[in-house]
C-alpha cells in the first residue's frame, strides 16, 4: 500500500523586493524550500516542526495544490500533486492558521452547509455532514450561534469541521493551535488524536516542540527549507537530551570572541549589543563543565571581561541550529 503522503525533493523560491531607499528596490530571491523529502504513513500523525520561516506553510500550500513548486513533487495517496490535482483534492482537507473565509453573519452550521454545497454536496447532504462534523468537533451546542461570536478555539474547531466536510482520508493542518489559549489548544490536540483513531492521516505543522511530542507518531524537523531530522518523538528526544548550552555574557568591545573559541565545543550563536556579547556554545551533556572551564580560560587569557555564565537546557532554536549544522547528528 502506498504512503498517505510522499514528498520528493520540493524546491520553492519566492522573488520579492528589498526596499533600499525611498524610491529604489532590489530584487531579492528567497529560497523557501531547498529540497524537502519526507513521508507520512497512513493513519499516523506527522508533525512538521520548525521555527518561523522554516518553510512549513510553503510545504503545506504545495501539498494542498495551492502553490506550485519550482521542482520536485509529492504524491497524496499515490496521486501526483502536479498532474492529478483534482484527485489530490478529494483526498485532503486543509486548514491554515489564520482562518479566513468564514461568514461572520452566518452561524457555524450555516457556514458549513454553505461550504458543503460549494463542494457540490446537495443541500440535505451538506446539512447532514455539517451536523455530523459539528458533533465530532464538539460544537453542536454552539452550532446556531453566529461565527462572529465564536471564540478563537471554536473557530479553530469549525475550521477542522470544514476541512472534513467531504470526508477526506488525509488532513493537512497548518499550525492548528496557534493563538489558542492552553485549554482550547488541548481540546484541539485531543480532537486530532480522536480523528487519528477514526483512521485519519494527519500532517500538521507546529513550532511547539511539546505539542509535536505529545501528538505525533513521527516528527520531521524543518529548518531553512530542509528537513534536518526525522524520527519518533522518543528517538529525537533521546538525541536532544544529549545537548547542553553554555551561555557566556562578556564585554566584547568590538572584538569577536568566536576567534578565541575555535577549538571548543560548537558555537551556536553570538549576539552582540552595544559592546556586550552573548556567546552560546553547544556541548554534550556531561561535558559542560570541561567545556565551560576551557572556554572561560581562553576568554580570560584573551582579555575579555566576563559578566555572566550560565548552563542552560537547549531551546528549540538552539536545537535547530545544532541539528541544521549537522554537529548534533555526529554526537548522537
Ligand atoms: N509570499 C511570499 N513572498 C516572499 N517570501 C515568502 C512568501 N511566503 C513565504 N516567504 C518566505 O519563505 C520562507 C518560508 O516561509 P513559510 O513557508 O511561511 O515558513 P513557516 O510557515 O515555517 O514560518 C520565509 O523566509 C518567508 O519569509
Ligand atoms: Mg507558517
pLDDT digits (tens, 9 = 90+) for 23-42: 888 899 999 999 999 999 99
CB 206 within 8 A of CB 128: no
Residue 43 and residue 237 in contact, taking contact as beta carbons nearer than 8 Å: no
Residue 231 pLDDT greater than 50, yes or no: yes
Ligand with minimal distance to 178 CA: 2
Residue 5, all three cell numbers: 503522503
Containing H/E element for 306? strand 305-312
Domains 43-54+84-238 and 243-331 share a fold: no
What contacts 24+ positions apart, CB below 8 Å, involve 97-104? 97/57, 97/174, 97/175, 97/176, 97/178, 97/179, 99/155, 99/156, 99/158, 99/159, 102/147, 102/155, 102/158, 102/159, 102/162, 103/147, 104/146, 104/147, 104/148
Nearest alpha carbon to residue 158 among 197, 187, 201, 118: 187
Asked if the 243-331 domain carries CATH number 3.30.70.1710, the reply is yes
Residue 32 cell numbers, joined: 523557501
Homologous superfamily assigned to 43-54+84-238:
P-loop containing nucleotide triphosphate hydrolases (3.40.50.300)
Q: Is the pLDDT of residue 326 over 60?
A: no
Domain range annotation of the chain:
43-54+84-238, 243-331
Look at ligand 1, atom 5, and give the residue with the nearest C-alpha. Answer: 14
DSSP single-letter state for residue 192: H
pLDDT higher than threshold 90 for residue 236: no
Q: Scanning the structure block, which residue is given the C-alpha cell 519518533?
A: 232
Give strand pairing partners of 279: 248, 270
User: Relative to the CA of 12, which ligand 1 atom is closest?
Assistant: 12
Residue 332 pLDDT exceeds 50? no
Q: What confidence score (pLDDT) does residue 320 get?
A: 65
Residue 268's pLDDT band, with cuts at 50, 70 and 90, is: confident
| 3-state class (DSSP) for residue 55 | coil
Our mutation pick for probing the ligand 1 site, out of 13, 19, 32, 62, counting the most ligand atoms within 8 A of Cβ, is 32
Question: What pLDDT is attached to residue 321?
Answer: 67
Q: Which ligand is nearest to the CA of 52?
A: 1
Cβ of 223 closer than 6 Å to ligand 1, yes or no, is no
Cβ atoms 321, 240 nearer than 8 A: no
Report pTM. 0.79
Beta-sheet pairing, 71-76 with 201-206: unpaired
Q: For 155-208, what is each residue's pLDDT tens digit?
A: 999 999 999 999 999 999 999 998 888 998 999 999 999 999 999 999 999 998
Ligand 1 proximity of 56 Cβ (cutoff 6 Å): yes
CA 54 to ligand 1: nearest atom: 22
Q: Which atom of ligand 1 is nearest to the CA of 59?
A: 17
Amino acid at each position: 500500500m502506498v504512503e498517505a503522503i510522499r514528498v520528493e525533493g520540493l524546491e520553492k523560491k519566492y522573488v520579492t523586493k528589498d526596499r533600499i531607499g525611498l524610491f529604489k528596490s532590489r530584487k531579492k530571491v528567497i529560497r523557501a524550500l531547498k529540497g524537502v523529502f519526507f513521508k507520512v504513513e497512513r493513519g499516523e500523525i506527522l508533525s512538521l516542526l520548525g521555527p518561523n520561516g522554516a518553510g512549513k506553510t510553503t510545504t503545506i500550500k504545495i501539498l494542498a495544490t495551492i502553490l506550485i513548486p519550482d521542482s520536485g513533487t509529492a504524491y497524496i495517496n499515490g496521486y501526483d500533486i502536479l498532474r492529478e490535482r483534482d484527485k489530490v483534492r478529494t483526498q485532503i482537507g486543509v486548514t491554515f492558521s489564520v482562518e479566513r473565509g468564514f461568514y461572520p453573519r452566518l452561524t457555524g452550521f450555516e457556514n458549513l452547509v454553505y461550504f458543503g454545497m460549494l463542494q457540490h454536496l446537495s443541500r440535505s447532504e451538506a446539512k447532514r455532514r455539517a451536523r455530523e462534523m459539528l458533533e465530532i468537533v464538539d460544537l453542536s451546542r454552539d452550532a446556531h450561534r453566529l461565527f462572529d461570536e465564536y471564540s478563537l478555539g471554536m473557530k479553530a474547531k469549525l475550521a477542522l469541521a470544514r476541512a472534513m466536510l467531504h470526508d477526506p482520508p488525509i488532513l493537512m493542518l497548518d499550525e492548528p493551535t496557534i493563538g489558542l489559549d492552553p485549554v482550547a489548544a488541548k481540546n484541539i490536540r485531543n480532537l486530532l488524536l480522536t480523528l487519528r483513531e477514526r483512521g485519519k492521516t494527519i500532517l500538521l505543522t507546529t513550532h511547539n516542540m511539546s505539542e509535536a511530542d505529545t501528538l505525533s507518531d513521527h516528527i520531521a524537523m524543518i529548518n531553512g527549507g530542509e528537513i534536518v531530522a526525522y524520527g519518533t518523538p522518543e528517538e529525537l528526544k533521546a538525541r536532544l537530551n544529549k545537548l547542553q548550552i553554555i551561555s557566556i555574557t562578556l564585554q566584547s568591545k568590538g572584538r569577536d570572541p568566536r576567534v578565541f573559541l575555535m577549538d571548543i565545543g560548537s558555537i551556536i550563536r553570538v549576539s552582540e549589543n552595544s559592546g556586550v556579547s552573548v556567546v552560546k556554545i553547544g556541548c554534550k551533556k556531561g561535558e559542560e563543565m570541561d567545556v565551560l572551564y576551557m572556554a572561560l580560560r581562553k576568554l580570560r587569557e584573551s582579555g575579555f571581561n566576563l559578566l555572566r555564565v550560565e548552563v542552560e537546557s537547549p531551546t528549540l532554536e538552539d536545537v535547530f541550529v545544532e541539528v541544521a549544522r549537522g554537529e548534533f547528528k555526529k554526537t548522537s
